[in-house]
Structure 1
Amino acid sequence: MQVAVNLSPVQFQAGDLERAIHQILLKTGLAPTRLEVEITEGVLIGDFARALNLLRRLKALGIRIAMDDFGTGYSSLSYLQSFPFDKIKIDRSFISNLEAAPQSAGIVRAVLSLAHALNIPVVAEGVETEAQRAFLEREACEEMQGYLVGRPDLIERYLDLIGVAVERWLYA
Structure 2
Amino acid sequence: MKIILFDGDEIKEVLKGCENVEVDDETNCIYFESGELCGIKSDYAIVDDDAVPEDAILESNLLEPEKVRKISSLNNRCESAILSGFTSETTEHTYQFNTTDQINMTQQYTLLLGNPDISTVDWKTEDSGVVAHSRDEFISIVNEAEEHKRGKIEKYWRLKSKVQASTTREEVRSISWDGGETVEES
State the TM bucket, normalised to the shorter chain.
under 0.3
TM-score (norm 1): 0.24
TM-score (norm 2): 0.23
- Over alpha carbons, which structure has the higher Rg? 2
